[in-house]
Amino acid sequence: MGTIERHALARSGEALWVAVSGGVDSMVLLHVLRSLGHSCHVAHVDHGLRGVESAADRAFVRQYCEQERIPFLDHTVEVYSRAQADGLSTQMAARELRYAWFRALVDGGPHTLCLAHHLDDAIESLFLGLLHGLGTRGWRSIPYRSGPFVRPLRDVGRAAILEYAHAHGIPWREDISNRDPRYLRNRIRHELLPMLEEWRPGVERTLERNTVLLSEMQGLTQRTVEEALTRVTTESDGSQRIRFEVILKDGIPRSLLHELLRGKDFHPDVVVQIVEAMERNSVGARFLSGAYQVLVDREELFIAPREMDLPQWTISSPTEIPVGAPLAIASVNASDIDPEAGQDIAWLDLERLTFPLVLRPWRSGDRIRPVGIAGTKLVSDILIDARMPRIVKDRTYVLLDQERVIWVCGHRIARDARAGSNGTNVLRFTWNPKGLH
């Protein structure tokens, strides 16, 4: 087969694993590889999704292998349990379990496993990506090789596979779920593509060329996106920020945002709205998904976990820190005080504190008597002076002693709680905002 040689998928006579479901594609693949002189070992996965039909598929493949004296190995996976445990779709859970077993097989040898993906699969995947709004990632074509997995039928259409099966008397089993119209891929296969072929005969080859071109374009776009992602700043609290100019400068803002927001459950339409908000410099615009938020701030975009109800903690004594509190307390000598230690460290005088202390998110109206300023100052004004974006501001905590703010964590301490160089009971408070995530 030209595809095998052209893409160096297997050496002449190399022993190969072949994933065989019992369907026509994999049965033809097995026949072709054996006719080319390869020693084949069949791997069959029983997903258990179709009851007796799944068991019949396994029995069919095993019987065929026994008849042809082909080494056979099967494996049963618990798809529903995995899907429920990891919050995955049934199809995604099945895929992950299947590939995990395949990887274990090639580790022990033979070291190459052949899959029966073909040209029609690649075309269907292109439409799936477009219809699911996957952005440029949806342009990627099914590769000829991905690690130890190769696809010798990648250039062959379904019609040619069926023709080969009939010509060589190859048996196979039909998976009735492949005709279930509830699955979008099946509707693309049985409704959309035949309709396109009727409108424009030969459209399959046109689509084949376009999948290759789009895949190459996706690779180019992806490299640009990856370079831009190196300029994303990740804060200590887990939020990310990136300047507008980085997103907008290469003319692919939607591609970059799709990548930044991938896995965060934002609707594709929201990506367009975020780009428009940046272009209009709509400071303060906020976009929410179930678990994340995006904030348009001064020249920067912030991405962070969405805060629901931020916790608060009561600290009974310097030696009793509640589980989960993003704070550490240590008793130190006055000589240990280091003014250059940074704003996440507060040196406070135990004799000026009354326990229990409370660590909670700041509230409107909170005031502090900060070092270096006469009188009091609103915590909100301190955060404004720090030019903090709203996402970060919302997660700012204060430490209180009997309703008195003694520390805006990571920012300012109260002058009437600060430890002096002559103090005898100095406590070092260390703020660790990563503990909030």
Render pLDDT for 25-54 as a digit per residue (tens, 0 to 9).
999 999 999 999 999 999 999 998 888 999
Determine the Cα–Cα distance for residues 342 and 270; give it in Å rounded to an integer. Answer: 38
Q: Which of 113, 138, 114 is nearest to 127 (CA)?
A: 138
pLDDT in tens, 344-356: 999 999 999 999 9
Domains of the chain by residue range:
2-217, 232-305, 313-436
Question: What's the average model confidence in pLDDT over 83-89?
Answer: 86
- The partner residues of 42 in beta bridges, in order of sequence, read 18, 72
Q: How far apart are CA 300 and CA 43, in angstroms?
A: 51
Q: Quickly count: other Cβ atoms within 10 Å of residue 427's Cβ.
A: 19
Question: Which one is predicted more confidently, 127 or 67?
Answer: 67
| pLDDT given at position 435 | 55
User: Alpha carbon of 189 to those of 119, 181, 186: distances in Å?
Assistant: 12, 10, 5
* pLDDT-based confidence at residue 21 (cuts at 50, 70, 90): very high
Residue 141 DSSP label? P
The torsion of the CA quartet 294, 296, 301, 306, rounded to 10 degrees, works out to: -20
The answer on pLDDT for 437 being more than 60 is no
CB atoms within 10 A of CB 6: 10
Which residues, at least 6 apart from 352, have a Cβ–Cβ distance to it below 8 Å?
416, 417, 418
Extract the runs of DSSP E, i.e. beta strands, from 55-204.
72-76, 113-114, 145-146, 149-150
Mean pLDDT throughout 286-306? 84
Q: Residue 261: pLDDT above 60?
A: yes
Please check the confidence at residue 237 and state whether its pLDDT lies above 70. Answer: no
Q: Which of 47-51, 222-226, 397-401 has the highest mean pLDDT?
A: 397-401
Residue 428 pLDDT: 96
- pLDDT score recorded for residue 175: 86
pLDDT band at 148 (very low <50, low <70, confident <90, very high): very high
Q: Report whether pLDDT(154) > 80.
A: yes
What are the CA-CA distances from residue 16 to residues 21, 36, 154 (Å)? 16, 12, 17
Give the span between the Cα atoms of 343 and 325, in whole angstroms: 18
Instruction: For the chain, give the mean pLDDT.
Output: 88
Confidence band, pLDDT 50/70/90 cuts, at residue 246: confident
Give the type of residue at 411.
H
Omega before 356 cis (within 30°)? yes
Domain 313-436 indexed as CATH 3.40.50.150: no
List, in sequence order, every beta strand (DSSP E) within 196-274. 233-234, 240-243
406 burial level (CB within 10 Å; 0-12, 13-18, 19+): buried
**φ and ψ at 132, to 5 degrees?**
-90, 0
Q: What pTM, to 2 d.p., does this model score? A: 0.61
* pLDDT of residue 332 exceeding 90: yes
Quick one: pLDDT at residue 240?
83
Q: Give me the CATH code for the 232-305 domain, please.
A: 3.30.465
Tokens encoding 247: 């997103």
Mean pLDDT of 234-254: 77
Residue carrying the six token digits 């804060």: 235
pLDDT in tens, 163-183: 999 999 999 999 888 888 888
CATH number of 2-217: 3.40.50.620
The answer to whether the beta carbons of residues 28 and 153 sit under 8 Å apart is yes
Contact 97, 85 (CB under 8 A): no
